[in-house]
Chains A and B, each alone.
Chain A
Amino acid sequence: EPEVTQTPSHQVTQMGQEVILRCVPISNHLYFYWYRQILGQKVEFLVSFYNNEISEKSEIFDDQFSVERPDGSNFTLKIRSTKLEDSAMYFCASSREPGGNEKLFFGSGTQLSVL
């Protein structure tokens, strides 16, 4: 079965540094998402992306966050100036149709640790 791949699997950074998390969605999918999961807490929606623009974002996704699809295959999440509370597992997901009622395919995640 096709997979969503994420790199790196682990990222350690200092508070205030910029990080870029990378994802390669499934090739024929059109809708892309970032979710995060703080340790011991539930999976939280961050942002959805379609047709090269953000279609929806949560209140977590503030000005420090941005997403980009720089080429035909990658989908990135940038955190401009990381905070301690950004430490979490970040999951990329993709789907063929809008993700509300559609099956989402998740990557294995990037564990971000902000020190």
Chain B
Amino acid sequence: TQLLEQSPQFLSIQEGENLTVYCNSSSVFSSLQWYRQEPGEGPVLLVTVVTGGEVKKLKRLTFQFGDARKDSSLHITAAQPGDTGLYLCAGPYNTDKLIFGTGTRLQVFP
């Protein structure tokens, strides 16, 4: 069974700080996705990384896919309270199935 482990599980920081969230697996994935989930809502896709070593930027968020396509990271620069939420990585397992990581709950205090 493919597993996606995220770290840290919880992160509480002050506005303006930088942070990195990690998503690791022992399995190779053809792609990885990052979602953000806010309370009472479903996950919303932020980005998909496909190529090993790929780096994608979304404003203050930088996503990287590991060279071996077994891991990914999300770096947030100058975090803001609006970044608060649950960050989930997800990868394909078989054709139809997307499996999710264990999640990182981020709280950014003003």
Interface set of A (CB-CB < 8 Å, partner B): 4, 31, 33, 35, 42-45, 48, 50, 55-56, 58, 91, 93, 98-101, 103-104, 106-109
Contacts and interface: CB of A to CB of B under 8 A. Distances in A.
A22 B66 CA distance: 38
Contacts of A93: 42
A36 to B, nearest CB: 11
B100 A108 contact: no
Contact of A98 (B30, B90, B96): B96
Given A106-B44, A108-B40, A109-B40, A56 B88 contact: no
Contact of A44 (B33, B95, B96, B100): B100
A56 B97 contact: yes
Interface residues of B, number: 25
B11 interface: no
Contact of B96 (A31, A43, A91, A109): A31
A48 B94 CA distance: 11
Nearest to A54: B96
Given A42-B102, A91-B42, A101 B92 contact: yes
Interface of B: 30-31, 33, 37, 40-45, 48, 88, 90, 92-103
Closest 6 CB pairs of A and B: A106-B42, A100-B92, A48-B96, A43-B100, A56-B96, A98-B95
6 contacts: A42-B103, A45-B93, A56-B94, A99-B92, A99-B98, A108-B40
B99 A101 contact: no
Contacts of B33: 103
Contacts of B41: 108-109
Given A42-B102, A43-B88, A100-B92, A106 B97 contact: no
A104 B102 CA distance: 18
Contacts of B95: 55-56, 98, 100
B103 A107 contact: no
A54 to B, nearest CB: 10
Contacts of A107: 42
